[in-house]
Amino acid sequence: MNFGASKLTVYGETTIAEIEKAGAFENIKVIPEKQRFEEKKEPFLKKHSSVIASLVFMLIGWVSAQINGEESISSILAYGAAILVGGHRLFTTGLKNFFRLEFDMRTLMTIAVIGAAIIGEWGEGATVVILFAISEVLESYSMDKARQSIRSLMDIAPKEALIRRGNQEFTVEVDDIQIGDILIVKPGQKIAMDGTVVKGLSSVNQAAITGESVPVSKTIDEEVFAGTLNEEGLLEVKVTKHVDDTTIAKIIHLVEEAQAEKAPSQAFVDRFAKYYTPVIMFISLLVAVLPPLLFDGDWSKWVYQGLAVLVVGCPCALVISTPVSIVTAIGNAARNGVLIKGGIHLEEMGAIKAIAFDKTGTLTEGIPVVTDYLPQPNSNSNSNELLSIIAALENGSQHPLASAIMKKAEQENLPYQGLVIEDFSSITGKGIKGRVNDKMYYVGSPNLFDEILPNGIPSNLKATISDLQNKGKTVMVAGTATEILALLAVADEVRGNSKDVIQKLHSLGIEKTIMLTGDNKGTANAIGKQVGVSDIQADLLPQDKLAFIKELRNKFDRVAMVGDGVNDAPALAASTVGIAMGGAGTDTALETADIALMADDLGKLPFTLKLSRKALYIIKQNITFSLGIKLLALLLVIPGWLTLWIAIFADMGATLIVTLNGLRLLRVKDK
């Protein structure tokens, strides 16, 4: 039974009728997972008619007691009716559990109410039943509120779509859409399936999947997700995944799994409640029989006290204190584009003291760009013509930085692809050369020009190159066999919000932020200083990152690692909490990480930390309050002051307070 997602998984064979029959006393309705249904909203009075009828009988009993006295037949009958009408479901379960020796809160309540009737406390027995019924109504309301965050995810993607197969266009249900079908998505419509754009240009609002509020421009060959909103142009999308494999379907599945998985504090509470309930029953028995037997106490008074101990000892508040907080927090995170894959990760994230970051693609964009283009005064060509020649040469290169130079030429609208390159060749590990208009040009590292120039690189240019390298940039030199014509500096740009995120994390009390990179120390120091991390580790291979994470765990106990979920997989697995960037569209990130930032947005990290800490704080608050209020009420037994009224308020009041306290996690916002 997945309590958080309202799901039941059946092993073996049965029918829906049999399951509903087994859950008849709770009026359970079962619907197959794939079947669509309209949730019928019953009017409040009809849904809770037994509670209202019970309340009416109790008021009649109270009025009768005031007029005819507590012992009158009319008041006893009215109170009895209130107990039977409001508590019949409670008693059915409670008595079944009693004969099976399963002592849960319903068993305790049943014994307390029957005991109250036996010793003539009809009014208080009726009050116990009604307050228990009211608390159950409020509890189910609050859990439904927490579950709505998942239901709202389920309703994001459309249930049918307009598709084209061959030359025919028709509307079909999403279950019948096949991979390779063409979706036709008009402006203002939601995209029904994951796929790639084959025609059109539009901006798509991806907030439902990634939590990012700014629409993203989409054109041919770009990926789109089910449940996102096409805002402007007409798009034709080729379907790439079945309905059960879409990103939104995976998110829903993972969130439901996460809500079912028990967090450490929840596992503790469940173990505690298992032993706690029989202990309370034993204490209740001692309170009822020891004072009359040993100290000549009044049987009626001490049996009443024993029943009050039973009621106050109910572990309702304690049992619900953790799951309501976990379900609420995970649902809130999912709505904000953060996928937390279990209560355990939520709690661990709340206790993190140090965070390690991969550099490329995490603190930086992961895409090299030309940051400096410095044509030299001795160059006879104009700067654009020279850049066209360099881009044309790089067009034939396999070097990873070549794309940055070609992109720069495209931004300047330079027609480099039309240039004819002759005698092109690669100089291994150093650069490339090629002939343009009967002139041989070279593009490569400073080392290449130190070798081919008769007197090496002039000292003034060496100083410029050194200065650029100290800023964390890779310098490329362009020229001929006799002179340098231009310098180009290429760098992986820092994400716009990296510095702000690191500052926020430090202000939230994170002791260490460490940048891990395979880059050289010069580049690493330049980027590290720019973003403001407290430690920098450079020249690391994947196994070095793994060893460093283990070292950090020895020092700080709980360490998070933020990476892209692919090449950082070992380090992510070794950390207490592995956080993957860009969960949307990358299956690896969704599967390997404990937490996925769906929008590839580092700005979601402070929100995740804040939400996790708040959840941890509220869980601790709830457990402490649940146990504290019970201890306080039990102490009232010593002077004989504990009444059923106080007991029921201590139990039901506590249940309501911890539930509402857990729902406060819905108010944590991503600011």
Beta bridge partners of 595: 340, 579
For residue 244, CA distances in Å to 39, 117, 151, 215, 299 come to 22, 55, 16, 25, 64
CB–CB of 226/155 below 8 Å? no
Which phi and psi angles does 585 have, rounded to 5°? 90, -15
CA 401-210-212 angle, 5° bins: 85
Pairing type for strands 229-230 and 202-205 reads antiparallel
- How many other C-beta atoms lie within 10 A of the C-beta of residue 164? 13
Q: What residue has token string 């009967």?
A: 438
Instruction: Determine the Cα–Cα distance for residues 665 and 639; give it in Å rounded to an integer.
Output: 39
Instruction: Determine the Cα–Cα distance for residues 343 and 616; give it in Å rounded to an integer.
Output: 10
**3-state SS, residue 491:** strand
CB–CB of 57/85 below 8 Å? yes
Q: Which of 358, 492, 600, 651 is catalytic?
A: 358
* Residue 88, token pair as written in the block: 């019949």
CA quadruple 202, 208, 213, 214: dihedral, nearest 10: -20
**Selection from 331, 352, 207 nearest residue 258 by Cα:** 331
Alpha helices in 297-445 (DSSP H): 299-312, 316-321, 323-335, 343-350, 383-394, 402-411
The radius of gyration of the chain's CA atoms, rounded to the nearest angstrom, is 34
Residue 176: active-site member: no
Side-by-side strand order, sheet with 168-173: 168-173, 160-165, 182-185, 235-239, 195-199, 223-224
Task: Count how many Cα atoms sit within 13 Å of the Cα of residue 190 in the half-sphere of its side chain.
Answer: 17
Q: Which conformational region is residue 393 in: left (phi greater than 0), alpha (psi within -120 to 50 degrees), or beta?
A: alpha
CB–CB of 57/78 below 8 Å? yes
Task: Count how many Cα atoms sit within 13 Å of the Cα of residue 11 in the half-sphere of its side chain.
Answer: 1
Catalytically active residues are: 358
